[in-house]
Protein backbone atom coordinates (compact mmCIF):
# COMPACT_ATOMS: atom_id res chain seq x y z
CA UNK A 1 0.00 0.00 0.00
CA UNK A 2 2.71 2.51 0.95
CA UNK A 3 5.55 3.35 -1.38
CA UNK A 4 9.08 2.33 -0.53
CA UNK A 5 10.89 4.32 2.13
CA UNK A 6 13.42 5.38 -0.50
CA UNK A 7 11.75 8.03 -2.59
CA UNK A 8 13.64 8.44 -5.84
CA UNK A 9 11.78 11.57 -6.86
CA UNK A 10 12.99 14.34 -4.54
CA UNK A 11 10.02 16.60 -5.37
CA UNK A 12 7.59 13.81 -4.60
CA UNK A 13 9.26 13.27 -1.20
CA UNK A 14 8.99 16.99 -0.46
CA UNK A 15 5.25 16.92 -1.20
CA UNK A 16 4.84 13.92 1.10
CA UNK A 17 6.53 15.84 3.90
CA UNK A 18 4.43 18.94 3.19
CA UNK A 19 1.16 16.96 3.25
CA UNK A 20 2.23 15.16 6.43
CA UNK A 21 3.08 18.43 8.20
CA UNK A 22 -0.27 19.91 7.17
CA UNK A 23 -2.17 16.82 8.32
CA UNK A 24 -0.35 16.72 11.67
CA UNK A 25 -0.97 20.40 12.31
CA UNK A 26 -4.70 20.01 11.69
CA UNK A 27 -4.86 16.76 13.70
CA UNK A 28 -3.63 18.57 16.80
CA UNK A 29 -6.85 20.60 16.84
CA UNK A 30 -9.38 18.34 15.13
CA UNK A 31 -10.26 14.61 15.35
CA UNK A 32 -8.54 12.76 12.50
CA UNK A 33 -11.74 11.07 11.34
CA UNK A 34 -13.25 14.54 10.70
CA UNK A 35 -10.30 15.94 8.75
CA UNK A 36 -10.97 16.29 5.02
CA UNK A 37 -8.49 15.98 2.18
CA UNK A 38 -9.43 19.53 1.18
CA UNK A 39 -8.36 20.82 4.59
CA UNK A 40 -5.03 19.03 4.28
CA UNK A 41 -4.35 20.33 0.76
CA UNK A 42 -5.53 23.88 1.56
CA UNK A 43 -3.19 24.00 4.56
CA UNK A 44 -0.35 22.58 2.45
CA UNK A 45 -1.03 25.04 -0.38
CA UNK A 46 -1.52 22.34 -3.02
CA UNK A 47 -4.50 21.18 -5.06
CA UNK A 48 -6.51 18.06 -4.17
CA UNK A 49 -5.26 15.97 -7.13
CA UNK A 50 -1.73 16.43 -5.76
CA UNK A 51 -2.78 14.61 -2.60
CA UNK A 52 -4.19 11.69 -4.58
CA UNK A 53 -0.98 11.43 -6.60
CA UNK A 54 0.74 10.58 -3.32
CA UNK A 55 -1.79 8.89 -1.04
CA UNK A 56 -5.11 7.09 -1.41
CA UNK A 57 -6.58 8.70 1.69
CA UNK A 58 -5.67 10.29 5.02
CA UNK A 59 -5.16 6.88 6.61
CA UNK A 60 -2.46 6.00 4.10
CA UNK A 61 -0.90 9.37 4.93
CA UNK A 62 -1.02 8.45 8.64
CA UNK A 63 0.67 5.13 7.81
CA UNK A 64 3.37 7.02 5.91
CA UNK A 65 3.94 9.28 8.95
CA UNK A 66 4.19 6.29 11.31
CA UNK A 67 6.72 4.58 9.05
CA UNK A 68 8.79 7.71 8.41
CA UNK A 69 8.89 8.95 12.01
CA UNK A 70 8.78 5.77 14.07
CA UNK A 71 9.82 2.76 12.01
CA UNK A 72 12.41 3.67 9.36
CA UNK A 73 14.75 5.49 11.81
CA UNK A 74 14.92 2.24 13.83
CA UNK A 75 16.25 0.07 10.99
CA UNK A 76 19.92 1.12 10.95
CA UNK A 77 20.07 0.97 14.75
CA UNK A 78 18.54 -2.50 14.84
CA UNK A 79 20.96 -3.66 12.12
CA UNK A 80 23.78 -2.57 14.43
CA UNK A 81 22.07 -4.35 17.37
CA UNK A 82 21.29 -1.08 19.17
CA UNK A 83 17.77 -2.17 20.10
CA UNK A 84 17.41 0.03 23.18
CA UNK A 85 18.45 3.14 21.23
CA UNK A 86 16.11 2.25 18.35
CA UNK A 87 13.05 1.86 20.57
CA UNK A 88 13.98 4.89 22.68
CA UNK A 89 14.22 7.06 19.56
CA UNK A 90 10.76 6.04 18.37
CA UNK A 91 9.18 6.51 21.78
CA UNK A 92 10.78 9.95 22.10
CA UNK A 93 9.49 10.85 18.62
CA UNK A 94 5.97 10.05 19.81
CA UNK A 95 6.49 11.97 23.03
CA UNK A 96 7.72 15.04 21.14
CA UNK A 97 4.43 15.06 19.20
CA UNK A 98 2.30 13.96 22.12
CA UNK A 99 -0.93 15.69 21.06
CA UNK A 100 -0.79 14.34 17.51
CA UNK A 101 -0.15 10.75 18.60
CA UNK A 102 -2.74 10.99 21.37
CA UNK A 103 -5.33 12.08 18.81
CA UNK A 104 -4.17 9.45 16.31
CA UNK A 105 -4.53 6.79 19.01
CA UNK A 106 -8.24 7.66 19.30
CA UNK A 107 -8.90 6.27 15.81
CA UNK A 108 -10.72 2.95 15.93
CA UNK A 109 -11.66 0.27 13.44
CA UNK A 110 -9.82 -0.91 10.34
CA UNK A 111 -7.81 2.30 9.94
CA UNK A 112 -6.96 2.69 13.61
CA UNK A 113 -3.58 3.94 14.72
CA UNK A 114 -3.10 0.64 16.55
CA UNK A 115 -3.71 -1.37 13.38
CA UNK A 116 -1.38 0.88 11.35
CA UNK A 117 1.31 0.63 14.05
CA UNK A 118 0.84 -3.15 14.31
CA UNK A 119 1.39 -3.68 10.58
CA UNK A 120 4.42 -1.36 10.54
CA UNK A 121 6.06 -3.05 13.55
CA UNK A 122 5.32 -6.51 12.12
CA UNK A 123 6.93 -5.51 8.80
CA UNK A 124 9.97 -4.23 10.68
CA UNK A 125 10.30 -7.46 12.67
CA UNK A 126 9.90 -9.60 9.54
CA UNK A 127 12.92 -7.78 8.08
CA UNK A 128 15.06 -9.00 10.98
CA UNK A 129 13.76 -12.47 11.83
CA UNK A 130 15.91 -15.12 10.16
CA UNK A 131 12.89 -16.91 8.67
CA UNK A 132 14.52 -20.15 7.46
CA UNK A 133 16.73 -20.57 10.52
CA UNK A 134 13.89 -19.78 12.91
CA UNK A 135 11.45 -22.16 11.25
CA UNK A 136 14.09 -24.92 10.95
CA UNK A 137 14.74 -24.82 14.71
CA UNK A 138 11.09 -24.77 15.86
CA UNK A 139 9.36 -28.16 16.16
CA UNK A 140 5.87 -26.73 15.50
CA UNK A 141 4.97 -26.01 11.87
CA UNK A 142 2.29 -23.46 12.78
CA UNK A 143 4.86 -21.33 14.65
CA UNK A 144 6.23 -19.46 11.66
CA UNK A 145 8.32 -16.30 11.56
CA UNK A 146 5.16 -14.41 10.63
CA UNK A 147 3.26 -15.78 13.65
CA UNK A 148 6.17 -14.78 15.90
CA UNK A 149 6.31 -11.28 14.37
CA UNK A 150 2.54 -10.90 14.84
CA UNK A 151 2.75 -12.05 18.46
CA UNK A 152 5.56 -9.65 19.34
CA UNK A 153 3.92 -6.77 17.42
CA UNK A 154 0.67 -7.35 19.29
CA UNK A 155 2.19 -6.92 22.76
CA UNK A 156 4.37 -3.99 21.68
CA UNK A 157 1.37 -2.17 20.17
CA UNK A 158 -0.74 -2.94 23.22
CA UNK A 159 1.92 -1.45 25.50
CA UNK A 160 2.40 1.63 23.30
CA UNK A 161 -1.31 2.39 22.95
CA UNK A 162 -1.80 1.92 26.71
CA UNK A 163 1.12 4.30 27.31
CA UNK A 164 -0.46 6.87 25.00
CA UNK A 165 -3.91 6.45 26.62
CA UNK A 166 -2.29 6.99 30.02
CA UNK A 167 -1.02 10.38 28.88
CA UNK A 168 2.55 9.20 28.19
CA UNK A 169 3.31 9.73 31.86
CA UNK A 170 5.55 6.69 32.28
CA UNK A 171 9.11 7.75 31.39
CA UNK A 172 10.39 6.50 28.03
CA UNK A 173 13.35 4.78 29.74
CA UNK A 174 10.95 2.77 31.88
CA UNK A 175 8.79 1.71 28.91
CA UNK A 176 11.87 0.75 26.88
CA UNK A 177 13.34 -1.06 29.89
CA UNK A 178 10.11 -3.03 30.16
CA UNK A 179 10.28 -4.03 26.49
CA UNK A 180 13.88 -5.15 26.89
CA UNK A 181 13.16 -7.01 30.15
CA UNK A 182 10.20 -8.91 28.68
CA UNK A 183 12.19 -9.69 25.54
CA UNK A 184 14.94 -11.40 27.53
CA UNK A 185 12.71 -13.42 29.88
CA UNK A 186 10.35 -16.29 29.15
CA UNK A 187 6.67 -16.13 30.03
CA UNK A 188 7.25 -18.80 32.69
CA UNK A 189 10.05 -16.76 34.28
CA UNK A 190 7.73 -13.76 34.46
CA UNK A 191 4.73 -15.69 35.83
CA UNK A 192 6.28 -18.19 38.24
CA UNK A 193 7.99 -16.81 41.35
CA UNK A 194 11.57 -17.87 41.89
CA UNK A 195 11.82 -20.95 44.09
CA UNK A 196 14.72 -20.91 46.53
Say if CB 57 and CB 37 are below 8 A apart.
Answer: yes
Q: What was the pLDDT predicted at 12? A: 60
Question: What is the residue-wise DSSP string for 152-189?
Answer: HHHHHHHHHHHHHHTTS-S-HHHHHHHHHHHHTS-HHH
What pLDDT, in 10s, does the model give residues 129-150? 877 777 778 888 888 889 989 9
User: For 20-43, what is the mean pLDDT?
Assistant: 96
pLDDT at 13 over 50: yes
Query: What is the CA 86 to chain-centroid distance, rounded?
Result: 12
Say if CB 135 and CB 145 are below 8 A apart.
Answer: yes
Q: What was the pLDDT predicted at 42? A: 96
What pLDDT, in 10s, does the model give residues 150-185? 999 999 999 999 999 999 999 999 999 998 888 887
Q: What was the pLDDT predicted at 194? A: 58
Angle, helices 10-27 vs 58-66, to 10°: value is 100
Structural domains of the chain, ranges and CATH numbers in brackets: 10-191 (1.10.357.10)
**In this prediction, what percent of the chain has a pLDDT beyond 70?**
92
Q: What was the pLDDT predicted at 80? A: 93
Q: What was the pLDDT predicted at 195? A: 52
Q: What was the pLDDT predicted at 8? A: 39
Mean pLDDT of the chain: 89
C-beta atoms surrounding 175 within 10 Å: 19
CA distance 18 to 36: 16
Long-range pairs of 6-12 with CB within 8 A, sequence gap ≥ 24: 12/54
Assign 3 a pLDDT band (cuts: 50, 70, 90): very low
Amino acid sequence: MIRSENTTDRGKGNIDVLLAASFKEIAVHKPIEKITIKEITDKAGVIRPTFYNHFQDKYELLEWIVKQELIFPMKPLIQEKHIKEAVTGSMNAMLSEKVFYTNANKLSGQNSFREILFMAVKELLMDFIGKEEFERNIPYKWLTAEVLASFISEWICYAITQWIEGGMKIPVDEIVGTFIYISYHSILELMVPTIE
